[in-house]
Amino acid sequence: MAGHSKWKQIKHKKALTDAKKGKAFSKISRMITVAVKEKQNRDPSTNSKLRTAIEKARTLGMPGENVERAMAKGLGEGKEEGLEEVLYEAFGPVGTALLIAGITDSKNRTTAEIKHILSEHGGRMSDKGSVEWMFNHVAAFDFDAEDFPSAEEAELFLIDAGAEDISKNDSLLTAYVSPQSAEVFKKNLGAKSINPKEEYFDYLPKNKISLPDEEIKQRVIALIEALDDNDDVQEVYTNVNL
């Protein structure tokens, strides 16, 4: 399960440098609304999904009033959009596996759009369960390795707090736990006054694959970018080594 999602890092850097943040703000607003609506709880300290969405909003510099408006919608205040979460399973070029997570106010429209994007890039929608089993659904917590005296002490601390797996990418440490254990792990961190840089839910491929040549790799990247550009798509996960 070790290995941070490289595509997530690429997207994250792209979002931070993108002058047109309107689309990103819209996606995060939907994420906040759904998180509040699901739990009927606008307190990020007890709503981990909401906390993740708010942290992402802050990272992108989303105005506080946008966050408040999105939370109010989740409690039924203002215009009701009828948002729901969706998870599509698909295969890309040469059988690469894709999980496409989104939030939509029209599942029929979004499904048609995703199918169209896939067909344009040599992919296809797959049956439920045919791809998801290839991934582990986890809660991920990012830390700066420099916040700890040493890498060894960092790993020992995170394991003691409940981390089920840890990966390192340059100065970034990522601890993984099951979604059900996320709150307990967070409390254990708080007891030691340790705060993650970011926390989020992720799908990690059980087995990563390497593509045979650069041309196919670029086709997969083009497909992922096209999916990510769709207004209703929140995250795209793949089992490809990018």
pLDDT tens digit sequence for 67-121:
999 999 998 876 656 899 999 999 999 999 999 999 999 999 999 999 999 999 9
- Region of residue 63 (phi > 0: left; psi between -120 and 50: alpha; otherwise: beta): beta
14, 79, 153, 186 from 200: Cα distances, Å:
18, 27, 23, 12
pLDDT reported for residue 14? 54
Instruction: Please name the residues in contact with 167: beta carbons below 8 A apart, sequence gap of 6 or more.
Output: 2, 3, 4, 173, 174, 176
- The amino acid occupying position 9 is Q
Residue ranges of the chain with pLDDT lower than 70?
A: 1-20, 78-81
> Between β-strands 135-144 and 198-205, what pairing exists: parallel, antiparallel or unpaired?
antiparallel
pLDDT reported for residue 93? 94
* Domains, the chain, ordered by start: 6-74 (1.10.10.200), 84-133+208-238 (3.30.70.980), 135-205 (3.30.70.980)
**How is residue 213 annotated by DSSP?**
S
pLDDT reported for residue 97? 96
Closest CA to 15 of 7, 3, 24: 24
Q: At what angle do helices 48-59 and 182-191 cross, to 10 degrees?
A: 70
Alpha helices in the chain, H assignment, sequence order: 6-17, 22-39, 48-59, 64-74, 107-120, 151-161, 182-191, 214-229
Query: Token pair for residue 159?
Result: 């394991």
Query: Token pair for residue 222?
Result: 């083009």
CA 70 vs. chain centroid, Å, equals 19
Query: Token pair for residue 98?
Result: 């894709």
Distance CA 103, CA 73 (A): 14
pLDDT reported for residue 4? 40
DSSP string, 89-119: EEE-GGG-EEEEEEEES-HHHHHHHHHHHHH
Check: pTM over 0.85? Answer yes or no: no
Apex 201 CA angle, 42 and 156, nearest 5: 110
pLDDT reported for residue 1? 31
